[in-house]
Amino acid sequence: MEQAYLPALAGSSAFDDIDRHLALFMARHSEKHADLAGLTAALLSRELSRGHVCMELREFAGRAVDDDDPVLSSMVLPDAALWEACLAESGAAAGDDGFFPLVVERGRVYLHRYWTYEKIIAGELLGRVGAADITTGAGDDDLPARLFPDDGEGNLQFEAARMALAGKLCVISGGPGTGKTTTVAKILFLMLCEDPAMSIALAAPTGKAAARMAEAVDKARSVIENLISSGGTAGRGDMSRVLEAFSLIEGTTLHRLLGSRPGSIHFRHGRENPLHHDAVIIDEASMIDSALMAKFLQALKPGARLILLGDRDQLSSVEAGAVLADICGSALEREGLLKNNVIQLSRSWRFEKKAGIGRLSSAVRSGVTGKGLMNIFQEYGPREGIAFYDLPGERAMRGAIMKPVLENYGRYINEHDAMTALSMLNSYRILTPVKSGPWGVDGLNRLVESILEEAGLITRDGAFYINRPVMVRENDYSMGLFNGDMGIVREDESGRRRVYFPSTVPGQARIVMPSLLPAHETVYAMTVHKSQGSEFDRVLFVVPGKNYPIITRELIYTALTRARNLMEVMADREILSLGVSRRVSRASGLADRLV
C-alpha cells in the first residue's frame, strides 16, 4: 500500500521550500502514484542542492525517507525495481524518449534538464576524440624535445603536450606545482608555431584564477624566449611573429568568454553562435559544474582544440556535478573512451623545497588519519613547511593567533605603496571550512579586526575603514571586477577613501569608489571554497571543533595545497581525522557514459 508521503513532507524541516514546491508540482502532474512521484522530486531537488546531478534509487530504496525527521523516519521508501516501475506508470517520468519532468535511466533519476546536460557533456567530449601528427610549423623539428627535456620520470609534461597537439581534446590533472600551467604555456607556444594567427582563449571559472593563469603563462613565456634565443636559428624569421602573438594572449573568466547575460542563465555564445577561437584552455576545471560545462562545450566550434586543466582531488564545483573528477576517473581508473585524452601529472616541483606540504597533502589525498597524520607534522615541521597546533577554546583563540596576525597583516598595513601592500596582503591568509561561528569566516574576521585595532594598526571608523581588505563576491563586468578579486581600502591623493585592486597594467592599481563595489566581504579570513584558484606564501587553516559534514578529505586537501611555503593547521585532532576519512561522492552517470 502506497504511503502518504506528501502530508508528512509539508511539515518537515528536512526539506526546503523549493523541494516541497517541486513535490507538489510533480504530484499535480502525475497520473498515478502521485505521492511517490512528488516525494521523488523532493528528494531529487534536495540531492541537487547537495551537489548531486541525479539520484541513485538503490542508495535510497528500503530506507527511511529521512532518519532525523520524527515522522519521515517511520516511512520507508520502496524497493528500487518497484520504485522505478511506479515512476514509469506515474506519467511524470520516462526513459530517454520524449520530454518528461523526470528521467529514469540505469537506475538513476534525473531532472530532465540535468539529464540533458550530462548527455551534452558526454557527447561533446567523445566527439572530440581524434588524432593528428604533432608539428611545430617553425622549421625546428627538435623544438618540442627542447621545450620538454627528459625529467627521468617518464616526461609526462611532454606526453601532455603531445596529447594536446595531436588531437582536439586534452585533459591535464595534477596537484599544485606539478607544472600544469608551465606545460600549457609551452603547448600554446607550439600551437602558435603551427599558426601565429591562431585564435587562442585562456579562461577560468573565477577572475582570480584567470588572472593567476595569465600571470603564470606570462612568466613561462619569458623562459621560452630565453630558451629559443639560445637554441639555434632554425625558423627564427617566423619566431618573432610567434612570440608577439604569444604576448597578446590574455586570461578571462569563463562567463565573460561565453558572453554572460545579466539576469539570465543563458549566454550569448552557444551552438548557434559558437566562439570563434581555434583553441580554448580552461584552468581550474574542477570548479566547473555540469550546467556550465554543458553550455561551454556547446559553444565551442567543431574543429577547436580544448585543453582542460585542474586537480581532480580538489573540491568540486559549488553547484551540481563533479565533471573533472568523472572525466579523469572514467579514463584513468576505468580505461574508458577518453583514456588517450587524459593525463595525470604527479611530480610536484614546487614542494620539493618544502617537502612537508607535499608529503602532508599526499597523505591526506591517500586517506592517512590519526597518528599517521600527526607523525608527518612531527617528522617535517615548520622548516619543511608544516606545523600543527591543537585548536584552543574560544576564549584562548585570540592569544593563539595574535602573533601571526600582527606579523603578517601588520606588514601590508604599514606599507605605504598600495600595490606593494596588495602583494603583501595576498602572501598570507586564514582559511576555514565554514562561514559562521567563532571558528568560521565571520568570527575570525571580527577577531582579527579586534586584534589589529587593539594594536593600533586599524581604526574601524566606518564600513570602509582604511586598510580594510575586501573580496568581491560576484562578477561585475561593467566595473571589470570579478568574483574572488581582492583589494584594500586606502585614501587617494585628495584624502577620499577608495578601494585599490590589482590592475592588468604592472605596477598600477585599479581604483574604485566604495559605493560602486559589487557584493563583497572582509577577507582576513576566507572559506576554503573561496580560496580555490588562489595561492598564498603562508596559510593558517583553522578547522572548527565540530564535526561538520562539509569537512571532507577534498576540502582539507584543497586547503593544504593553497600554501606555497608554510601551512599551519589548527584543529581538533579527532575532527581532522574524521574529515580526512569523509570523502565526497557525487551521484552522476557521466563516468558511465564515457566508458
Same domain? For 415 and 285 the reply is no
- Asked whether 283 and 158 are in contact (CB, 8 A), the reply is no
Q: What is the DSSP string of 407-449?
A: HHHHHHHT--SHHHHHHHHTTEEEEES-SSSTTSHHHHHHHHH
What is the Cα–Cα distance from 42 to 23, expressed in whole angstroms?
Answer: 5
Same domain? For 362 and 511 the reply is yes
131 in a structural domain: no
Residue written as cell 597578446? 248
Same domain? For 165 and 197 the reply is yes
Q: Output the furthest CA–CA distance in the chain (Å, rounded).
A: 83
Q: Residue 509 pairs with which residues in a beta bridge?
A: 502
Same domain? For 199 and 345 the reply is yes
Same domain? For 337 and 360 the reply is no
What is the Cα–Cα distance from 469 to 488, expressed in whole angstroms?
Answer: 4
Same domain? For 394 and 340 the reply is no
* Phi–psi pair at 251, nearest 5 degrees: -95, 155
Q: How many CA atoms lie within 13 A of 56 on its CB side?
A: 8
136 in a structural domain: no
Domain boundary, last residue among 105, 130, 148: 105
Strand residues in 492-577 grouped as ranges (E): 497-502, 509-512, 520-522, 525-527, 536-542, 563-571
Q: What is the DSSP string of 262-320?
A: TT-S-BS-SSSS----SEEEES-GGG--HHHHHHHHHHS-TT-EEEEEE-TTS---SSS
Same domain? For 329 and 413 the reply is no
Same domain? For 336 and 369 the reply is no
- Asked whether 278 and 200 are in contact (CB, 8 A), the reply is yes
What is the Cα–Cα distance from 387 to 377, expressed in whole angstroms?
Answer: 6
pLDDT tens, position by position, for the chain (595 residues)? Answer: 467 888 888 888 899 999 999 999 999 889 899 999 999 999 999 999 999 999 999 999 999 999 888 889 889 999 999 999 999 899 888 766 667 889 999 999 999 999 999 999 999 999 998 654 444 444 455 677 777 776 655 688 888 888 888 889 999 998 887 888 888 888 888 888 888 888 999 999 887 788 778 877 777 777 777 766 665 544 444 677 887 787 778 888 898 899 988 777 889 999 999 999 999 999 999 999 999 999 999 999 988 999 999 999 888 888 999 999 999 999 999 999 999 999 998 877 666 556 899 899 999 999 999 999 999 999 999 989 999 999 999 889 999 999 999 999 999 999 999 999 998 998 999 999 999 999 999 999 999 999 999 999 999 999 999 999 999 988 787 787 877 889 999 999 999 999 999 876 666 788 999 999 999 999 999 999 999 878 899 999 999 999 999 999 999 999 999 999 999 999 999 999 999 999 988 999 999 999 9
111 in a structural domain: no
Q: What angle do CA 77, 83, 85 make, to 5 degrees?
A: 165
Structural domain containing residue 399: 355-581
The tally of domains found in the chain comes to: 3
Same domain? For 345 and 380 the reply is no
Is this structure's pTM higher than 0.95? Answer: no
- Starting at the earlier edge strand, list the strands of the sheet with 525-527: 386-390, 563-571, 536-542, 428-432, 525-527
- Asked whether 338 and 125 are in contact (CB, 8 A), the reply is yes
511 in a structural domain: yes
Same domain? For 335 and 377 the reply is no
Same domain? For 399 and 330 the reply is no
Domain of residue 465, CATH code: 3.40.50.300
Reduced DSSP (H G I as helix, E B as strand, rest coil) percent helix, strand, coil of the chain, to 5: 45, 15, 40
